[in-house]
Amino acid sequence: MPKQFDCNIVFDTRMYKNSGIGSYIRNLVGQYSKNPIKNNLTFLTSEEIPGLGLKTKHCPYKIYGLAEQTLLPYSVRKAALLHTPHYNAPVLFPGKLVVTIHDLIHLNYYDQLPSLFHKLYAKTMMGAVVKRADAIMTDSDWTKKDICRRWPWAETKTKTVYCGVSESREHSSPKEVLGRYGITKPYIFYVGLLKRHKNLIRLVESFAAAQGSLKGEYLLVISGDPKSDDAGLKQHIDGSPYRKLIRLTGFVPGADLPALFGQSAAFAFPSLAEGFGLPPLEAMSYGVPVISSNATCLPEILKDAPLYFDPLNVDDMAACLERAVSDTAWRQEAISKGTAVAAGYRWEETARECLDLYQSLL
């Protein structure tokens, strides 16, 4: 890993406390804080980053706001390089611009955006940033290919840099955590956003279809911020004949996730589109068998560890749910393979590749 840079680099951490991109930022910040690079790095933040002793610059400009494109680039104009870990990068920044584009879900699922403004912003800004950026990082080859299908000329400046998986950790009182969420039986777990492309309504339908084998002996536990539910998931669950077997926990704080991952019988990931797919990798790191959609980047990232299904086929998904809890030989194989796959993704390596890219531009 490079030990020193001669010029100042700014890393945009305004989404530090968010889920998704926030996890990416927090893990890179944690790695950078251990390296001499921190002496040449300024963290652009809307609130303090606790406990790491880093050089920060307060940024009052909101994500997706006009000031982000006008005042923000002026405020960091003396920096040699700016890394924005999301597609809404300030295109008027005069130095070297590095952008991480995690996926093109905003464009591929255009109808899910909440307003005409959001649709126009996503379409216009994504194209402008791809054109302006000196380097683009993606989390998977799938997303890189997706970008290059739309903008073929961007291929030479687009690089796949895989995310990492944090090491699993034990919870001191998992029974207390499960009790708090009303989990009283073995359970199949999902955690993530509740948006339409996450395909959770079909997961609920497949859970119902699998009851001939599951016989009511397992719960389905779905965790995620209810504000992200744009699919009517809660209403669908309320109308299910198996609603008493389904737990919709709401947002789960990070401190509770080790218990929820570690105690689950299996992890289900039915998503229609991902840029990387961190939750199933986290489940694998806890030694949990995973069943997964075969869509977009997931086979690339998860390799041969999960049992894959067609995410549009409820019966296929139901068969995988049944096998995930009943096939002892497969479960042992999935645990072994999954642990090895998850161990291959480390944030130390992600940070090293990011720093190498910075250095190549300076």
Tokens of 106: 């905003």
DSSP line for 25-72: HHHHHHHHTTSGGGGGEEEEESS--TTS---EEE--PPTTSHHHHHHH
Confidence of residue 1 (pLDDT cuts 50, 70, 90): very low
- CB 150, CB 131: distance < 8 Å: no
Helix (H, G, I), strand (E, B) or coil at 7: coil
Reported as type and span, the H/E element at residue 81 is strand 81-84
Domain-embedded: residue 4: no
Q: Which residue has the higher pLDDT, 171 or 11?
A: 11
Say how far apart CA 161 and CA 173 lie, in whole Å: 36
DSSP state of 361: H
Q: Are residues 69 and 206 in the same domain?
A: no
Query: CATH number, domain at 295?
Result: 3.40.50.2000
What number of H helices and E strands is found in the chain?
A: 15, 13
Do 150 and 190 belong together in one domain?
no
> What mean pLDDT do residues 156-183 have?
93
| Residues 81-100, mean pLDDT to the nearest whole number | 95
Assigned domain for 3 exists? no
Name residue, tokens 């995310």. Answer: 163
- 209 in the same domain as 157: no
**Residue 3: is its pLDDT beyond 80?**
no
Does residue 355 share a domain with residue 239? no
pLDDT confidence bin for 125, thresholds 50/70/90: confident
Average of per-residue pLDDT values in the chain: 92
**In contact, 202 and 311? CB cutoff 8 Å:** yes
Whether 234 and 101 share a structural domain: no
Residue 111 pLDDT greater than 90, yes or no: no
pLDDT of residue 110: 74
Domain that holds residue 219: 174-343
> Among all chains, which residue has been given the structure tokens 């944690």?
30
Dist. CA 187–CA 141, nearest whole Å: 33
Q: Are residues 201 and 285 in the same domain?
A: yes
The answer to whether residues 193 and 331 belong to one domain is yes
Please report the sign of the dihedral spanned by the C-alpha atoms of residue 170, residue 176, residue 181, residue 186: positive
For residue 85, the model assigns a pLDDT of: 95
Number of structural domains (the chain) is: 2
Give residue 119's pLDDT.
Answer: 75
Residues 283 and 354 in one domain: no
32 and 158 belong to one structural domain: yes
For residue 162, the model assigns a pLDDT of 98
- Look-up: residue for tokens 């960091």? 76
Q: Is residue 169 part of a domain?
A: no
Asked if residue 1 belongs to a domain, the reply is no
pLDDT of residue 65: 82
Residues in the chain: 362
**117 pLDDT more than 80:** no
Tell whether the model's pLDDT for residue 115 goes beyond 80. Answer: no
Q: Which of 170, 192, 169, 201 lies closest to 252, judged by CA?
A: 192
User: What pLDDT, on the 0 to 100 scale, is given for residue 168?
Assistant: 82
Verify that 183 and 141 share a domain, yes or no: no
Residue where the block lists tokens 């890993």: 1
Give pLDDT tens digits for 258-315. 999 999 999 999 999 999 999 999 999 999 999 999 999 999 999 999 999 999 999 9
The pLDDT of residue 51: 65
CA distance 234 to 56: 41
- For the stretch 47-59, pLDDT in tens is 877 767 788 888 8
Provide the residue type at 155 as one letter: E
pLDDT at 5 over 70: no
The pTM score is 0.92
